[in-house]
Structure 1
Amino acid sequence: MTTLLGEYVLPAGEPVWTSTLVDVLAMFDVEEKAARQALARTAAEGWLSPDRVGRRVRWQLTPPGRRLLAEGAERIYGFGSGDRHWDGRWLVLLVSVPESMRDLRHKLRTRLNWAGFGSPTAGVWVTPHPGAEADAKLILDELDLSTQAMSFLANYGALGQERDMVTSAWNLSEVADRYESFIDEFAALDPRTPDAILRAQTLLVHEWRRFPFLDPQLPNELLPPRWSGTRATAVFNDKHLHWREPAQQRWTELASS
């Protein structure tokens, strides 16, 4: 549902009928009941508001929904294509949450992972992107942990190996495997019909939007040789550009029928 809203409803800027969302989700073997439940949950979260027209209902994005989807789209579509230049500095964040506060620990871990941080040891979070300090502060403020945290900017010292720290902080082998699976699924995919292109484009974006949670976008100096993320990014950008216009056109046809 989120992928459909971000890829088609947001750029169209028009309300969408319940039947359109149900019919498109059926292309992915989502049953009507499950589709309507997903729609209800999305509305309950404040992303959509209903507008009844006779016996039919159409949905429009709320201002918070548009903002969240726009922010997500900016990160998803630009992911993997940024500048990898690095000055060698690390942002180090020290924050400790008691084991007894498991829910808070989970929220902190999830949100810092999303912001690109890795944890080489308990209570220590690192990223080669010093600019992420603003994101870290926002996260810690919202979780009421700022008074318990400390941050530093530093270069790696003489003890130990920098790559060993990277290996401890992030599971790059797992990320590489996910990239390889993405390449295997989409590199040779060549849909020909309008519905097939719409389905392929939606699956492409749906799978790609997972990678900002998985890949910390490390500088080239810290990546394994022949990093599969480079090729996966090229596959995504090429396919998304190639399928975008016909997929959008098919969505418009379905939404207006």
Structure 2
Amino acid sequence: MRDDDLYAEGPAGCGEGEPDATPRPQTLLLTFFGGHVLGRDVRVATASVLDVLRRVGVSEHATRSTLSRMARRGLLHRTRRGRSVYLGLTPRSREILRDGEHRIWRIGAVNARWDGTWTLLGFSLPESWQRQRHVLRSRLLWAGFGALQGGLWIAPSAVDVCALLDGLEAAEHVKVFRARALPPTNVAELVRDAWDLTAVAARYDRFLRRWDASSPPGVADDSLARQLLLETEWLQVIRQDPRLPREHLPADWPAERAQRLFRRLHAELDPAARAIAAEVLDTIAEEEPRAATATH
């Protein structure tokens, strides 16, 4: 994942809205494209996307504006067929969506197989490099780093730092090490200093309160809409979680409980959501992007 604009919008890359608030249109659109376009080699009609976002309460104007902005940023490309415009993924958006897919379905909400290795990253940037410092810190938060002290950051796993720093001028000022904590280091205290465990747990608790109900407030009685909101909100939560080792988390840590709820609800909604999507989505086969893109 290397998209500075998305990093700048928060660790989720899609905004930092709380799970009990309506996610932003771009957040919902990325979830939609990840679930119904990624890996299918298709493009989807703009009219279909408008229909899906309308189901979760997003206006046509907001959806069109967001789609246009995503196209300008290289996240979508357009193809006109007759009077219809179809939207396809780009290499950049595929990378973003695969990252989300990996976080949701492959690595889990808790680091249960930690080998004791920490990634340490230190940097010292000129005072005038405010933009570079902001982007670097955003990328570090995205990758699960916590600020230990001064310009020293730490992550509870091996991190592909070369990919993380790709394209950054600040990369020349960064030093990276792999390490293990040795006595007299108090690892529990280190974790509390580097990460706000209370805030991370609170996000999981809000997700549980909102979705562990027969009818979550503000959610339409539509399986496609429910699943889209559920997955979007879950991704917002886990992308702001550094996945700390289980042995260094409180005994009542809510992440695994929330993950079980998410996966159960997603599976329950999936058949009906897929049926609705098959009915309402107008798609065409993917093809190589043309030099000129269509407009709305």
The TM-score normalised by the length of structure 2 is: 0.77
Shift in Å, 1:67: 3.8
* Alignment partner of 1:154 is 2:182: no
Structure 2 counterpart of 1:176, from 201, 223, 235: 201
Secondary structure of the 1:150 match is: strand
Alignment of 1:103-142 (within 5 A): 103-129=131-157, 131-132=158-159, 135-142=160-167
Structure 1 residues without counterparts, runs of 5 or longer: none
Shift in Å, 1:87: 2.8
Shift in Å, 1:78: 2.6
| Greater relative contact order (CA < 8 Å, ≥ 6 in sequence) | 2
The residue that corresponds to 1:41 in the other structure is 69
The residue that corresponds to 1:230 in the other structure is 256
Is the alpha carbon distance of 1:225 and 1:49 closer, same or farther for their aligned partners in structure 2, counting shifts above 3 Å? same
Is the alpha carbon distance of 1:125 and 1:197 closer, same or farther for their aligned partners in structure 2, counting shifts above 3 Å? same
Q: Which amino acid is 1:178 matched to?
A: R
Is the alpha carbon distance of 1:153 and 1:9 closer, same or farther for their aligned partners in structure 2, counting shifts above 3 Å? closer
The residue that corresponds to 1:220 in the other structure is 246
Structure 2 residues without counterparts, runs of 5 or longer: 1-28, 284-296
Shift in Å, 1:92: 1.5
The residue that corresponds to 1:18 in the other structure is 46
Tell me the number of residue pairs that the alignment of Structure 1 and Structure 2 aligns.
252
The residue that corresponds to 2:23 in the other structure is none
Shift in Å, 1:159: 3.8
Secondary structure of the 2:101 match is: helix
Alpha-carbon distance between aligned partners in 2 of 1:249 and 1:62, rounded to the nearest angstrom: 26
Are 1:76 and 1:209, in contact at CA under 8 Å, matched by a contact in 2?
Answer: yes
Alpha-carbon distance between aligned partners in 1 of 2:221 and 2:42, rounded to the nearest angstrom: 21
Alpha-carbon distance between aligned partners in 2 of 1:152 and 1:70, rounded to the nearest angstrom: 27
Task: Tell me the percent identity.
Answer: 37
User: Which is helix-richer, 1 or 2?
Assistant: 1
Over aligned residues, Cα RMSD in angstroms? 2.3
Alpha-carbon distance between aligned partners in 1 of 2:92 and 2:69, rounded to the nearest angstrom: 15
Alpha-carbon distance between aligned partners in 2 of 1:11 and 1:165, rounded to the nearest angstrom: 41
Q: Which amino acid is 1:43 matched to?
A: A
Shift in Å, 1:239: 1.5
Q: Deviations over 1:189-225 (max 9, x none)?
A: 469xx96111110011111111343111111111111
